[in-house]
Structure 1
């Protein structure tokens, strides 16, 4: 009886279907590894070349430490690196959120009010033209030497690319779709949520990828101006004390943080944008 039960196959089963599904699952798991393999190999090659140059030319450690020395600095100064990473991460994340939020709100205002765009867009350009290293001391004098100027500077670096891209994205909505929505007596809010905002999302996420990495740079630059904590302050301390392995380790941590924020935005983009923008040749 048991043999007869096991011999009955499902009506819709096909030979090899289970193996095919397992192969598809394996391919999905290996796809990210295969896609990122060239980048991993390129980075490994650069690190190996760096190590060979330091060994071959006997470069002094205080000038350019070897990757092995940098790895030892990670092990020796792990607690210091971690304690200084958290403030920089907080400043960069808050600057990224607030800078982009203000940029998006201003972009919406500019699109719906041409007069506001003509009046305030040049001011945004002027603010962008001021070097951040010159703006940082002014902000320290205005808002103090706490976390506030670091967040503002990180936000300012994120602000302008998002503003420009978001304005362009909101204006890129199809005129035919806009006319159709008006014919259907859609309100301005309905046109915004159903036409303009979806059209702007590819532009917005393109700007957010730039802003994600720039926010880390802004936070670090802000920490150079009178801060006793954060990766920026640690870079200054390691430089003046000729602790090159620690300096390089701190730079690697900062670069890794920027890359992580970039990939977070990329993952969010894949979750939000589930369609492929049409290309016009």
Structure 2
């Protein structure tokens, strides 16, 4: 029994081995992201040098130093307006994608519904969001509802198209095998169609994650007094360029965080991806 327990030296070796694996993983991650990090830092440095070299007025194009100062001077304002935009983007993301997935399932199992309603979805997608926003404000008011709807509409169409394609991508041989085994439609959906559609779905969700932020900000331009979109309008009209750039940086950072959140979820849920022939 005593021999089954690891000795102190073996325990240290296991601990050292785990530590080395963690360090190797961190080093690999750093090396993988090093080119992008250096490119971003290089662009920021070039931006600052151009502003200094050509003596560009701050109200026209502030340098990174001015933008960083704006973060400190307007931290409270930025923080207060960040939360409404985050809520609108996340709720719109959920709303638009859930509706898109449900419609995609309906379309796959009802070709008549697809022929009837798919063109309507295309027509709705073709309407410019900036033109649709005032209509929604008139219909549902000037609260949070039109912002969520607009963010959801931007997410809706890419997910609908990808999900329909994903659900239809199931191998005919696999579908025939499931029917031979007397599988029900629900069993075929959960065991074949849905797992096969996940790579397509997450490809659309990554697009929707960034688009939802854009939709929320565009919606806030139409008669809103809060949110990053409203702050962008206010900073623009008051020639507060450093605050404008700081707000844009926060909006872009939010979109990037949502994108990587979806990518992380994909890495945990999707264990395979469809192969492509070269």
**Aligned match of 1:220:** 217
Q: How far 1:266 sits from its partner (Å)?
A: 0.3
User: 2:145 matched to 1:148?
Assistant: yes
User: 2:47 matched to 1:50?
Assistant: yes
Alignment match of 1:63 (pick from 49, 60, 65)? 60
Give ranges in structure 2 of 5+ residues lacking alignment.
Answer: none
**Aligned match of 2:117:** 120
**Aligned match of 1:278:** 275
**Aligned match of 1:188:** 185
User: 2:164 matched to 1:157?
Assistant: no
CA distance in 2, matches of 1:42, 1:197: 39
SS at match of 1:208: helix
Deviations 1:157-193 (A, max 9, x none): 0000000000000000111110100000000000000
Paired residue total:
274
**Aligned match of 1:133:** 130
Q: How far 1:17 sits from its partner (Å)?
A: 6.9
Alignment match of 1:198 (pick from 187, 195, 208)? 195
User: 2:205 matched to 1:208?
Assistant: yes
Give ranges in structure 1 of 5+ residues lacking alignment.
Answer: none
Q: How far 1:24 sits from its partner (Å)?
A: 1.9
Kindly indicate whether the alpha-carbon contact (under 8 Å) linking 2:228 and 2:251 is maintained by their aligned counterparts in 1.
yes
**Aligned match of 2:24:** 27
Q: How far 1:34 sits from its partner (Å)?
A: 2.0
Q: How far 1:35 sits from its partner (Å)?
A: 1.6
Alignment match of 1:104 (pick from 97, 101, 114)? 101
Kindly indicate whether the alpha-carbon contact (under 8 Å) linking 2:199 and 2:273 is maintained by their aligned counterparts in 1.
no
CA distance in 2, matches of 1:216, 1:167: 24
User: 2:245 matched to 1:248?
Assistant: yes
TM-score w.r.t. structure 2 length?
0.94
SS at match of 2:170: coil
CA distance in 2, matches of 1:36, 1:160: 31
Q: Output the aligned Cα RMSD.
A: 2.0
Q: Taking structure 1 as reference, are residues 90 and 18 closer, same or farther at Cα in structure 2, changes over 3 Å only?
A: closer
SS at match of 1:59: coil
CA distance in 1, matches of 2:15, 2:150: 55
Kindly indicate whether the alpha-carbon contact (under 8 Å) linking 2:220 and 2:227 is maintained by their aligned counterparts in 1.
yes
SS at match of 1:63: coil
CA distance in 2, matches of 1:123, 1:78: 44
Q: Taking structure 1 as reference, are residues 19 and 243 closer, same or farther at Cα in structure 2, changes over 3 Å only?
A: same
Q: How far 1:23 sits from its partner (Å)?
A: 2.3
TM-score w.r.t. structure 1 length?
0.93
